[in-house]
Amino acid sequence: MQAYIPEFILAGLAMLLLLAETFCKKTPKFIFGLIGAAGTLAMLPFYMEGLYDNIYIILALVATAVTLLLSVDFRAVINLSSNDSKSQDGTGEFYILPLLACVGITSLCKASNLVELFVSLEVLTLSSFIMVGYFRRNLGSTEAGIKYLILGAVSTGFLVFGLAWYFGITGTFIYNETIVSHALAGQTAPAMYLALAMLLLGTAFKIGAVPMQLWIPDVYQGAPTPVTAFLSVASKVAGFALFGIILAPFAVLPPVEFVVALMAAATLLVGNLGAIPQTNLKRMMGYSSIAQAGFILPLFIGTVDGKLAPNAPFYLAVYLVMTFGAFFALAMIRIQRGSEEISAFRGLGKTNPRLALAVTIMFASLAGVPLTAGFFAKMISFVHVINTGLYLGWMLPVMIVCAASGFYYYFKVIRSMYWDKPAENAEPVQVPAISGVMLAAFSIFIVLGGLMPLFLNPIR
């Protein structure tokens, strides 16, 4: 019970803010976001000891705090989309739900058996359902919420089916290598592989991997921008933490390695090829999220020094910074230019050169331009594939082609900023204080990660 103290604190903070939403109606609701972000970051000291063992939790806490800060700067759209006015009434829950979702993620990373794992995942999933469809008066948000609910229920069904098979085979919900190895050594091996397949399908929904990626483009486009950012990063962190837990007892088995490699290759192709024709930036970022998952998945093939995917947290940390930077910029464009299309960035290099530079750094890093953190994150994935011998077949060529295609669609944004003329009477995009600080910090991180990758990746 003591291990869950941070979760109880976060849940208690969420309940206090919910009471404040009810009884302190005149309090500016964006203050809830600031309090929530501060409370989330205050949990970090609990996990600084044993950094590697807690790295997914740390990433989830940081992602939640940044989501709340993004929500504060996005509050004008939150108020308008919730009430058809500038009133903040009834918007407090928008700043509370990420805290509950974060409780689900951190609990999932600590789960000692499959029941705790499932309950934690459902806390995250149910909170996400509400966040996606939060803009009740916006048809796009409502549609996204319905799609997320239906497809999420399907993935949960796969997960529960896998849990049931596992329990039927082993008679326990304890999940470790000893129990799995014993089951694989007997006549129950085919049934155990079926249980693994169901569990991986359920997990693939969270990380946006093929064949459970269908929901991502529509939901990312329709959900509120801070929620899209949360799903892109925090939910993906939870998904890969779960993926690592599920895969660990099977990681070195050749059939399982082949399935993960096949899933990674298909995810890379779907994500990168799907992103090329997109004109809506949020939809493009959805396909980008699928593509980035395709580069992370190979890190879970085999082990390094007896550990499964020790470099995945570094990739996820870099992905967190790049993705949130892109969404902070998109949020400002959405608020001040009323559009989420790539064309809304036209002429930004002339009307706001500093913001355009920050956006350039984010998308160059997402594309994997050398001397950015994104380049070294992708390089780690390439090196891992080469070291495991997959380059002898088809995996490495697929990764090379997909990495190259990323330059095209990421640079569409950069081209629009510098090559296209600003719209008539286009005014400079104003950068709020929080967004300015975060974009500056993200830019510095990406540049340092490109110049000193080993400094930013002490866990290798």
pLDDT for position 85: 62
Residues 175 and 249: their CA atoms lie apart, in Å, by 9
What is residue 212's three-state secondary structure?
A: coil
Please give the single-letter amino acid code of residue 74: F
- Tell me which range, 250-259, 307-316, 434-443, is most confidently predicted by mean pLDDT: 434-443
Confidence of residue 200 (pLDDT cuts 50, 70, 90): very high
Dihedral angle sign, alpha carbons of residues 231, 235, 237, 242: negative
Q: What is the mean pLDDT of the chain?
A: 89
Confidence of residue 86 (pLDDT cuts 50, 70, 90): low
Task: Convert the pLDDT of each residue in 382-412 to its tens digit.
Answer: 999 988 876 656 888 899 999 999 999 999 9
Contact 283, 217 (CB under 8 A): yes
Task: Convert the pLDDT of each residue in 246-257 to its tens digit.
Answer: 998 887 788 888
pLDDT for position 456: 55
Alpha carbon 236 to chain centroid, angstroms: 4
Please give the single-letter amino acid code of residue 340: E
What separation in angstroms does the CA of 167 have from each of 106, 122, 160, 286? 24, 19, 10, 35
CA geometry: angle 69, 71, 72, nearest 5 deg: 65
Q: Has residue 455 got a pLDDT over 60? A: no
- Count of CB atoms situated within 10 Å of the CB of 111: 18
Domain boundaries, the chain: 252-460
The partner residues of 341 in beta bridges, in order of sequence, read 280
Contact 124, 108 (CB under 8 A): yes
Per-residue pLDDT averaged across 130-154, rounded?
Answer: 87
Record the tokens describing residue 326, joined without a space: 């892109």
Please report where in the chains the tokens 């990739």 appear, as a residue: 315
Report the phi/psi class of residue 419: left, alpha or beta, with left for phi > 0 and alpha for psi in -120 to 50. Answer: alpha
Record the tokens describing residue 163, joined without a space: 């849990």
Alpha carbon 450 to chain centroid, angstroms: 21
* pTM for the predicted model, two decimal places: 0.94
Residues 107 and 120: their CA atoms lie apart, in Å, by 6
Dihedral angle sign, alpha carbons of residues 302, 305, 308, 310: negative
pLDDT for position 458: 44
| pLDDT-wise least confident of 51-60, 157-166, 312-321 | 51-60
What is residue 307's three-state secondary structure?
A: strand
Record the tokens describing residue 287, joined without a space: 């396909």
